[in-house]
Amino acid sequence: MDDEMFPVRRAAAHEIGQKLDDFSVEELGERIALLRREIERLEAARDAKQAAKSAAGSVFKF
């Protein structure tokens, strides 16, 4: 059979609120690590935007 006939299905990284009963302990640990990295990424983006906002606010003070 040709591999193109059976595409590899990748699971979504994580869906908030999804059922967790079918995940193994290892899979749950992987999900936790993934979500922690995503939280760090979100916090860094928030902090960068806050710094830019603060810098712009200090330039336009009257």
H or E element that contains 7: none
Report the distance separating Cα 28 and Cα 21, nearest Å. Answer: 10
**10-39, pLDDT tens digit by residue?**
666 788 999 999 999 999 999 999 999 999
What ranges do the domains of the chain cover?
22-62
Q: Which residue type is seen at 43? A: E
User: Residue 10: its pLDDT value, please?
Assistant: 61
For 19, phi and psi rounded to 5 degrees? -65, 130
pLDDT of residue 55: 87
What's the rounded Cα separation, in Å, for the pair 32 and 29? 5
Locate 14 and state its tokens: 């994580």
Query: Does pTM top 0.85 for this prediction?
Result: no
